[in-house]
Structure 1
Amino acid sequence: MSRVHDMGGRFGDGPIPIAGTDEPVFETEWHARALAVTLAAGALGKWNIDISRHARECLSPKDYCRFTYYEKWMGGLADLLVDGGVVTREELAGAAPQPAPKELQERKLSASRVATVLAAGGPANRDGAAPKFAIGDKVRTRRIARNVMLDGGHTRLPAYAAGVEGEIILSHGCHVLPDAAAHRLGEQPEPLYTVVFDAGDLWGEPERAGDEVTCDLWQSYLEPVT
């Protein structure tokens, strides 16, 4: 995470509305279409999930704050489509579309394949180095939540958890490192852990004493507490 959307722990943004269990899956019909278009475009193979997350992060702060959830998806997708050479800005603005290259036509996600593709998902576990930490180890997160490979780059270390001590409670093996994959620097897989933090250490004043927060964090985000 980076930029304006890394909002965890902030005050003053108002309450978060919680939908009831009887709420529809999609609030409006176009939300379902936005999800479908995003999945279909992703099947073209021009980007990965980390690149798409970073595209949403790179929306201007003004747009990010005023856009709804699926508007953020559409804003990021528009940039991905142009950057990937799938469409032009002119086509997005309403110009007559040009025929898609044969390569993209062959990758189109047909309706008959949707269920199979969604069931398969996109596993990010990989072979790699043995974990440096074990369950029960005390660790401290990197003091500043930033991508150390690229200034302003994507990272999955949230600002509210930076520089805080926690404990390893799960070890997940090696997974693709988002900080690298979001910028086409290769997968560079690293051990991934679930780290538990005392909510008071993160927020100062937790809702209830003893509350905990867990984060899935890559090995390079962590250092041992001695």
Structure 2
Amino acid sequence: MTRVHDMGGRFGDGPVRPDPEQAPVFAADWHARALAVTLAAGALGRWTLDESRHARECLSPADYTRFSYYEKWIAALADLLVAKGVLSRDDLTGHGGGGAHPLAGRRLAAENVARTLARGGPADRDAGPGPVFEAGQAVRALRPAANRLVEGGHTRLPAYAAGAQGYVLRCHGNHVLPDSNAHGLGEAPEPLYSVRFKAAQLWAAPEHPDDEVILDLWQSYLEPA
């Protein structure tokens, strides 16, 4: 993945400066509405969490860099709604037809929101291959960090870890593979590992070379070191 959103470990973007004061959960009223409409639209069942992540990644670099956090959410949601045939561009501009929507029966009712959020969307699965790596084993993240199923597609392997050697901390069992699920190719569950990397393996001049970064990586992202 070479898109602009993959910013982890990148130089030149300036330091991260956390707000010393407790920031509000939503800095503006419309931020809460953006979250609400995104969750409600997701409840329609027309796309997966991985597809929604990929939609945000597919925003043009110019839009991605100038949009605020929730502007990215809304822009990606609009793209998904049109791409999946839920709404038309005319609908989004207020010029669509009237009447009840065919998906109205799937709406997320207010009284069901808390229960739905508490249930979440577990991604662990019983199906899939068994683990080939064990705790303590040296592994290497594949280079380049890319989706091996879809050219330019979604992956959860960050670019800064590509080619780095780490050690398996634990296996979490089989989980849905985002590289497949984001593109309608099925869940394709496979083992998911926590892998620890020395900072010196990831960056040329780390401030604290012995610090460790722990990444959750799928089996197909790794090879024996």
The TM-score bracket by the shorter chain reads over 0.9
Distance 1:87 1:37 in 2: 14
User: 1:181 is aligned with what amino acid?
Assistant: N
Query: Do the aligned residues in 2 keep the contact of 1:199 with 1:213 (CA within 8 Å)?
Result: yes
**8 Å Cα contact 1:193/1:217 also seen in 2:** yes
> SS in structure 2 opposite 1:50?
helix
1:30-83 Cα shifts (integer Å, max 9, x gaps): 111100000000000000000000000100000001111111101100000001
Shift of 1:193: 0.3
Indicate whether 1:116 and 2:133 are aligned: no
Summarize the alignment of residues 75-224 of structure 1 with structure 2, pairs less than 5 Å apart.
75-102=75-102, 104-127=103-126, 128-224=128-224
Deviates more, 1:47-56 or 1:129-138: 129-138
Q: Per-residue displacement from partner, 1:94-137 (whole Å, max 9, x unpaired)?
A: 214533443x1111001000000000000000012221111111
SS at match of 2:99: coil
What residue number does 1:16 align with? 16
CA distance in 2, matches of 1:100, 1:11: 50
* Secondary structure at the counterpart of residue 4 of structure 1: coil
Instruction: Give per-residue Cα distances to partners, 1:140-174, cap 9 Å, x unaligned.
Output: 01010111111111111110000110000021000
Q: Tell me, which stretches of 5 or more residues in structure 1 are unaligned?
A: none
Report if the CA contact (8 A) 1:43-1:107 is conserved. Answer: yes
State the distance in 1 between where 2:111 and 2:208 align. Answer: 49
For residue 15 of structure 1, report the CA deviation from its aligned partner: 2.0
Q: 1:100 to 1:193 in 2, by over 3 A?
A: farther
Aligned residues between the structures: 224
- Secondary structure at the counterpart of residue 179 of structure 2: helix
Write the distance in 2 (CA, Å) between the matches of 1:21 and 1:214.
28
Structure 2: unaligned runs, 5 residues or longer: none
Paired residues of 1:137 and 1:168 also in contact (CA < 8 A): yes
TM-score (norm: length of structure 2): 0.96
Distance in 2 (CA, whole Å) between partners of 1:108 and 1:2 is: 36
2:51 aligns with 51
Q: CA RMSD in A?
A: 1.3
Code of the residue aligned with 1:114 in structure 2: it is V
Whole-Å separation in 2 of the counterparts to 1:66 and 1:56: 13
- The one-letter code of the counterpart of 1:79 is D
Give 3-state SS (helix, strand or coil) of 1:168's partner.
Answer: strand
SS at match of 1:3: coil
Worse overlay, 35-44 or 200-209? 200-209
Q: Secondary structure at the match of 2:4?
A: helix
Aligned partner of 1:119: which letter?
Answer: A
Structure 1 counterpart of 2:187, one-letter code: E
TM-score (norm 1): 0.95
